[in-house]
Amino acid sequence: MDKLLDPGIRVPLTLLFVPFIGLRLTPDVRLLPLAIFGTGVFIVFTLYSKNLSIGPVSVVQSMLRLTNLLIFFLAVLFLHERITTVKIVSAMVMLMGVILVSFDVGLLLKKRIQTLTRAVPTILVQIVLQAVSVLFLGYGIREFGGFSANVGGRLFTVPLYLLFSMTRQRTKPSITLSSWKLILLITVIDVIAYILYTFAVQLHELSFASMIQSTMPVFTAIFGALFFGERLAPVQKLGIAVAVLGTMGLASGR
């Protein structure tokens, strides 16, 4: 370990991790967790695309909500965040509501079980990898600040993933100026979202921020109904109500 802390070794190691740490060039091997996070994000994105191509979107989305629950418990165990009975119960209630919102019951009844479970193995790998990556992110936020942990990693991994996914299509699209503009727009929006997520972790806890982040399908369903004329199924409306109750309990801070 002493050899790793030698300045002659620390600086080259840091330079390897520049894409993942943004503009902060602190020569410290502890930046390794941030590099792992950046790498994990790229692999998770790739697995996500693979899951969507081999399994129904609703099944994939519902199972991935378990990632937030795993992050919740990892943060409590390894980052020593406060845990209470109300916090655990509220997190479980919120997660159940989110799953109801994102899960297509009609699809479950119509499709064969083999079709529904094709994506399960890679989803499980993705759940574990994403949870561990976000745990490293939480550590990075505490040690080095949110912008170093997030902006560099997301600016590097999101465009790389988008370009990678374009090359994987059967009909290879030509990368034009419009393509780059779209990639830049998606990257900027993604980075802004992660900056806000970072602030949430700094203001409260990783476990809290992770569970709040899991409610994205709820907001998607509400926006879809309000602005795009999508009809919400009764089970989705129930899920929204359940998720709201869970959020209220989690935010109570007891």
- Listed by start position, the domains of the chain span 33-163+175-251
SS3 per residue for the chain: CCCCCCHHHHHHHHHHCHHHHCCCCCCCHHHHHHHHHHHHHHHHHHHHHHHHHHCCHHHHHHHHHHHHHHHHHHHHHHCCCCCCHHHHHHHHHHHHHHHHHHCCHHHHHHCCHHHHHCCHHHHHHHHHHHHHHHHHHHHHHHHHCHHHHHHHHHHHHHHHHHHHHHHHCCCCCCCCHHHHHHHHHHHHHHHHHHHHHHHHHHHCCHHHHHHHHCCHHHHHHHHHHHHCCCCCCHHHHHHHHHHHHHHHHHHCCC
pLDDT computed for residue 83 by the predictor:
78
Q: Read off the pLDDT of each residue in 81-98 and give the average, rounded to a whole number.
A: 86
Task: Identify the pLDDT of residue 39.
Answer: 76
Name the one residue in this structure whose structure tokens are 């059967």: 170
Of 185, 158, 189, nearest in space to 41 by CA? 158
User: Which has the higher per-residue pLDDT, 7 or 251?
Assistant: 251
Task: Report the distance separating Cα 216 and Cα 30, nearest Å.
Answer: 32
Query: 41 — phi, psi (to 5°)?
Result: -60, -45
Q: How far apart are CA 38 and CA 155, in angstroms?
A: 10
Percent of the chain with pLDDT over 70: 72
Task: Tell me the C-alpha distance between 118 and 50, whole Å.
Answer: 11
Produce one character per residue of 85-106: b if its CB has 16 or more CB atoms within 10 Å, e if not: eebbebbebbbbbbbbbbbbee
Residue 81 is predicted with a pLDDT of: 84
Report how far residue 125's alpha carbon sits from residue 29's, in angstroms, rounded to the nearest whole number. Answer: 27
pLDDT at site 172: 59
User: 5 falls in which pLDDT band (50, 70, 90)?
Assistant: very low
For residue 22, what pLDDT is reported? 46
The pLDDT mean for the chain works out to 75
pLDDT above 70: residue 150: no
Q: How confident is the model at residue 9 (pLDDT cuts 50, 70, 90)?
A: very low
For residue 238, the Cα-to-chain-centroid distance in whole angstroms is 24
Question: Does residue 201 surpass a pLDDT of 60?
Answer: yes
Question: What's the whole-model pTM score?
Answer: 0.74
Q: How many whole angstroms separate alpha carbon 33 and alpha carbon 231?
A: 43
pLDDT of residue 102: 80
